[in-house]
Amino acid sequence: MTTYKLHCFKESGNSYKVALALATLGVAWEKVNVDYFDGQTRQPSWRVQTNEMGEVPVLEADGRRLTQSGAILLDLAERFDALRLAEGERSEVLRWLLFDNHKFTANIASYRWLRTFAKPAPHEAVLAYMRQRTVAALEIVDRHLSTSRFIVGDRLTVADLSMVGYVYYPSEELGFDLRAEYPGIGAWMDRVAETPGWKPPYQLLA
């Protein structure tokens, strides 16, 4: 039986993506807490031993260390029937995974980090710029979800598990009340939250 160890920290939405995938699969996994705020991922020894890219999540499975949340999710989709991509789905799932990495998660996570955790606080013009980029990404996804139950078709895929990485964090951190401001996204969040094993990030990664 495969033993899964997830190197992560609770504020990391990219870690949450992988933790949520494992939870919805009903797979037992062990949390390895990473002290990101005190610089653990910047230590040369951590980068040599755990991830040369200096990032979480890192998933240990079958003697391998898997990194980059999108790649990890695709690996899990190949391992488990519940997440396996049907014929013809792969290119569309990849399209949204790449969009998520470049535009959706990238902007939401950066804006949240700057307004909530960055010290010293960034210049107001920087925050305004990042908010504008975040709004543009949110509007694209909200329009898409106004006519689609999930990101790709009518069932949960790894595209959804990737794109929900940050949306369940508190609105005071995000700077958006997503359910109120983006009804398509809000309804999708509710549908994803009905998946067995679902928990919000600060519970799942506690």
Q: Give the pLDDT confidence of 10-60 residue by residue, as tens digits.
A: 999 999 999 999 999 999 999 999 999 999 999 999 999 999 999 999 999
Q: Looking at residue 41, what is its pLDDT?
A: 97
Q: Looking at residue 27, what is its pLDDT?
A: 95
CATH of 90-193, one of 3.40.50.720, 1.10.4190.10, 1.20.1050.10, 3.90.220.20: 1.20.1050.10
Is residue 56 a contact partner of residue 14, using CB atoms and an 8 Å limit? yes
Mean confidence (pLDDT) of the chain: 97
Q: Give the pLDDT confidence of 162-197 residue by residue, as tens digits.
A: 999 999 999 999 999 999 999 999 999 999 999 999
Q: Looking at residue 87, what is its pLDDT?
A: 85
d(CA 11, CA 117): 10
Q: Which residues of the chain does CATH 1.20.1050.10 include?
A: 90-193
Domain 4-83+199-204 matching CATH 1.10.3470.10: the answer reads: no
Q: Which residues of the chain does CATH 3.40.30.10 include?
A: 4-83+199-204
pLDDT exceeds cutoff 90 at 1 = no
Instruction: Give the pLDDT mean for 109-130.
Output: 97
